[in-house]
Structure 1
């Protein structure tokens, strides 16, 4: 079997894919294209991240579908006067697109809540992306002053998840 040939039906290694996501983030890459055998993956990250998998066997000749940015679901709300809690302290932001989970499982208590003291290595939540559950550390020392997203809510790259008061 040639070096670039892959047996049909074998998926990409998810651990290697997770490592690729981490490397993209670490090095500021916004797009990666992979081709292995007949399978092509295009990974993009940023404000409107998309991940598309287009198997070559299902592609339309001379036309490969490209990801299309989705229109916002609703117009942005009119600016309101800022509340003190909304502007006080730095935020813990999502390092990836995915689904926010406040606890390790539905039956467990949340990792943190308003008033919880955290250090840089405290796990504050999980963001699930492509069946990979990423534990998110606080990366800051302080006290959780606000939880900005709801359990099970979709989050974007760089979206604030928690507000921290330091001191």
Structure 2
């Protein structure tokens, strides 16, 4: 510990905000002081419905493994926060990028709205967008793979 004192009431207030907003984590940075408060969140499994023949009811194991490995892909751009992902700057506007788009380092790829603030998610390197893993207007978690730049 660096000897920096934190206000327990402020930490309790951050925890209260987590509960009220259903967030899993919140961080406050003030100068050289940093407080991160997190909580365990139980996420219900998501069911994806795909129009397919009746014989193909369960997802293929290879597909499940691929989704799990997206965040560890060397070209994965992951979410730095919990929020809502937006692929375009405003409703009806063209998306920042599409599959096959060439991007340069620092180019805006998408936005994440967190606590009524829109945060630009920028390309960490130049390359081509090979996959977009989120849909506009959907919630994302910290560390979730958003897209792949190769």
TM-score interval, smaller chain? 0.5 to 0.7
Q: 2:90 aligns with which of 97, 102, 105?
A: 105
CA distance in 2 between counterparts of 1:33 and 1:126 reads: 32
1:41 maps onto 2:26 in alignment: no
Shift of 1:89: 5.1
> Helix, strand or coil: the match of 1:40?
helix
- Give the match for residue 55 of structure 1: none
Shift of 1:50: 3.4
After superposition, the Cα gap between the structure-2 partners of 1:157 and 1:164, relative to the gap in structure 1 and judged at 3 Å, is same
- Give the match for residue 80 of structure 1: 62
After superposition, the Cα gap between the structure-2 partners of 1:79 and 1:97, relative to the gap in structure 1 and judged at 3 Å, is same
Give the gaps of 5 or more residues in structure 2. Answer: 1-5, 27-37, 48-58
- Give the match for residue 139 of structure 1: 124
What count of residue pairs does the alignment treat as equivalent? Answer: 114
- Give the match for residue 139 of structure 2: 154
After superposition, the Cα gap between the structure-2 partners of 1:111 and 1:78, relative to the gap in structure 1 and judged at 3 Å, is same
Alignment of 1:13-24 (within 5 A): none
2:24–2:41 contact (8 Å) kept in structure 1 = no
Give the aligned CA root-mean-square deviation in angstroms.
3.5
TM-score (norm 2): 0.61
> Helix, strand or coil: the match of 1:114?
coil
CA distance in 1 between counterparts of 2:104 and 2:142 reads: 22
> Helix, strand or coil: the match of 2:62?
coil
After superposition, the Cα gap between the structure-2 partners of 1:33 and 1:78, relative to the gap in structure 1 and judged at 3 Å, is farther
Shift of 1:142: 0.3
Shift of 1:88: 6.8
Shift of 1:139: 1.0
Give the number of the structure whose alpha-carbon radius of gyration is greater.
Answer: 1
